[in-house]
């Protein structure tokens, strides 16, 4: 246990065997700091040298250049971010327009297919164009049990 009496420190032990108390050790005193008249109580003393407090012109120019680079980078980033947002909104708008046009196209195609009269087309083809309906002997059916896959070794001639 340490007893503190001012600057003296004594060490002792409680119990039935007590060691001999050591002679108090005094810490060497540091010389009192001489206060300068410009220093005031309560203010922290700067440990910088007086000549280091001034910034040189190249250092100030460097700091200014770095601030300009950072500001330009931030403005550029915000501009690119705004352009990306604008492009994304335009893409979404065009996608919705495309979906609308595809839906309209499907509806129109359905209406067109509804107006086609197959009987009229067959009658016109037979009477005006001389179409002949294929007979049973002209139609050949084949069984494709093995595979639907086919290798093409050459181009098919156009007739």
User: Is 32 within a domain?
Assistant: no
Q: Which residues contact 46 (CB under 8 A, 6 or more apart)?
A: 53
User: Is 142 within a domain?
Assistant: no
8 A C-beta contact, residue 21 and residue 12 = yes
Token couple for 2 = 């340490």
Q: How many domains does the chain have?
A: 1
Candidates 47, 30, 27; CA nearest to 39 is: 47
User: Is 92 within a domain?
Assistant: yes
8 A C-beta contact, residue 22 and residue 28 = no
Beta bridge partners of 3: 10
User: Is 117 within a domain?
Assistant: yes
pLDDT tens digit string along 87-113?
999 999 999 999 999 999 999 999 888
> What is the three-class DSSP state of 1?
coil
Mean per-residue pLDDT for 48-75? 85
| pLDDT for res 38 | 58
| pLDDT for res 156 | 73
What is the residue range of 81's domain? Answer: 56-127
User: Is 115 within a domain?
Assistant: yes
- In angstroms, the CA 36 to CA 51 distance is 18
User: Is 116 within a domain?
Assistant: yes
């Amino acid at each position: 246990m340490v007893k503190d009496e001012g600057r003296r420190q004594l060490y002792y032990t409680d119990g039935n065997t007590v060691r001999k108390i050591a002679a108090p050790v005094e810490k060497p005193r540091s010389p009192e700091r001489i206060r300068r008249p410009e220093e005031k109580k309560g203010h922290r003393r700067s440990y910088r040298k007086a000549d280091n407090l001034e910034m040189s012109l190249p250092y100030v120019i460097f700091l200014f250049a770095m601030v300009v680079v950072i500001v330009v980078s931030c403005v550029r980033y915000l501009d690119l971010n705004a352009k990306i947002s604008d492009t994304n909104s335009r893409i979404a708008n065009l996608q919705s327009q495309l979906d609308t046009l595809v839906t309209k196209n499907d509806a129109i195609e359905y209406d067109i297919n509804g107006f086609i009269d197959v009987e009229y087309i067959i009658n016109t083809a037979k009477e005006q164009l001389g179409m002949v309906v294929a007979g049973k002997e002209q139609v050949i059916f084949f069984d494709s049990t093995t595979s639907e896959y086919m290798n093409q070794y050459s181009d098919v001639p156009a007739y």
